[in-house]
Structure 1
């Protein structure tokens, strides 16, 4: 692993279009782990996330979980659970309340998740995530009409291709007749492999068939603390001076596209806001 981190670090130093080059070794190690030890894939992942900071900077604008999102918990809370499964997966919960949504609230949710994701990439060794999307209280029709497909696609691309989070399952918890529409939208955003892992659950009891009760919060019939308690603990941790400073540092881990070799621009970025392709005309 030390050799792999050295190789990745040395490669970063040679990338003229990288604005930041002094990445934490812990961060580079997590990147390599997320690519199952492939340094070549880790290079692409580093390039992807740094390029996204340049192409979609609005996702990375905010740094302080408490000050920048003081009211977000009234609409939306998301948190990783503290304990992991026997096969090293972590449960991640995203819950939407019954309050009317807006584009700004959804963007705040994405920006908060970026702060959380940066923390996880620095410290967490888990293999991947079981995701619970709790829409039991939400107006799903309101959610579907307020979703910006470009923003949703960008944040999902950042999760999977940038940060390299592996998604084992997505459990959509809802009784709404509109939930099928949301699932159809989500399947258009994610890969076919992830799309096959999406399932709709009508009750928390249905979760117990796939997830251990002792890892779930008490709100979901489990043995862990309530999601509001765990969420508040996360907000305090993400608002520490250390992590706020780290977020400001990582905000500068972007690219200067004028220094990138035109023939090296990754085709994967085309179609994203701000992306471009050099054309040579005789």
Structure 2
């Protein structure tokens, strides 16, 4: 993707890449390359993985988004390939007309601790065509992040979000388990009393770790305690472009010929579950064959 288009969607702090590598124990490029090579060798040994030639740069991002752990990276990589196999409909092109009532964007500027913010504003909670196109969009955006971003974790902001709980849980599985993004916080902006009931059900369906990171805000000012207001869009008291412009920039990046051609190639990285050696559960968790833990949890 052209640098100009990419710069409209995401930016980095001046020390982001080196900071995150050092945070996970990769003070030198040699140590980072060693971790990537271990992951490559493990992939080659997995009979159920259909394609085994992922780019080293991509695998390096998988390790970074797995908090520097090669063992976690094995599981995340395997899960993403498995999701593409079991839920292929999530990885098909989406129809923009079916999600026009939602503005979704990645804030270009990061927080000072190198977190990326995803912001979604829903203007109409009715989805006549269902939620599938939204989840197609979100899967595509996650692949974009996995490929181009370099962040410490994600901060997710929903400006009053309401959807089918079962579908939300499915999508969290893709974002958290498949792509391995660390969700630092989920922030919901709402003054509706119904949000309390929604929150009770949602927390029961999520892991305790993620459930503890959900915050409800009845006014925008309390959000500033978690996300600097200056990096937020104009509508939220910030200095960034409007959410409509940021959403349009993201859509343009995802629809670009370069990214679409690349995204289509990622669909080939799937699994053939018939060839998965179910007797080697330990191996799937990285406890058999090539083993080494790099970085910290």
* Fold shared, TM-score > 0.5 on shorter chain: yes
| CA RMSD across the alignment | 1.8
| Among candidates 105, 111, 121, match of residue 85 of structure 1 | 111
What's the offset of the Cα at 1:169?
1.2
| Among candidates 189, 192, 210, match of residue 176 of structure 1 | 192
Aligned pairs, number = 252
What's 2:236 paired with? Answer: 220
Pairing 1:195–2:202 present: no
Pairing 1:98–2:124 present: yes
Pairing 1:247–2:278 present: no
Q: Distance in 1 between matches of 2:237 and 2:98?
A: 25
What does the per-residue CA deviation read over 1:118-149, in whole Å, with 9 as the maximum and x for residues that have no partner? 011011110111111111xx6x5xx4xxx151
Q: TM-score, normalised by structure 2?
A: 0.80
What's 2:54 paired with? Answer: 23
What's 1:52 paired with? Answer: 83
Q: Distance in 1 between matches of 2:165 and 2:209?
A: 23
> Is contact 2:99–2:134 with CA below 8 Å preserved after alignment?
no
Q: Distance in 2 between matches of 1:182 and 1:265?
A: 36
Secondary structure in 1 matching 2:117? strand
Q: Distance in 2 between matches of 1:186 and 1:96?
A: 18
What's 1:38 paired with? Answer: 69
What's 1:75 paired with? Answer: 101
Larger RCO, structures 1/2 (Cα 8 Å, 6+ apart): 2
What does the per-residue CA deviation read over 1:73-112, in whole Å, with 9 as the maximum and x for residues that have no partner? 422222210000111111111221225234x432211110
What's 1:260 paired with? Answer: 276
Q: Distance in 2 between matches of 1:53 and 1:189?
A: 23
What's the offset of the Cα at 1:25?
1.6
Pairing 1:116–2:132 present: no
Cα–Cα, structure 1 residues 94 and 185, in superposed 2: closer, same or farther, change >3 Å?
farther
Cα–Cα, structure 1 residues 223 and 73, in superposed 2: closer, same or farther, change >3 Å?
farther
What's the offset of the Cα at 1:54?
1.3
Q: TM-score, normalised by structure 1?
A: 0.84
Secondary structure in 2 matching 1:223? coil
What's 1:65 paired with? Answer: none
Unaligned runs of 5+ in 1: 63-67, 269-282
Pairing 1:167–2:167 present: no
Unaligned runs of 5+ in 2: 1-31, 285-297
What does the per-residue CA deviation read over 1:134-172, in whole Å, with 9 as the maximum and x for residues that have no partner? 11xx6x5xx4xxx151x3222111111111111111111
What's the offset of the Cα at 1:211?
1.4
> Is contact 1:169–1:197 with CA below 8 Å preserved after alignment?
yes
What's 2:292 paired with? Answer: none
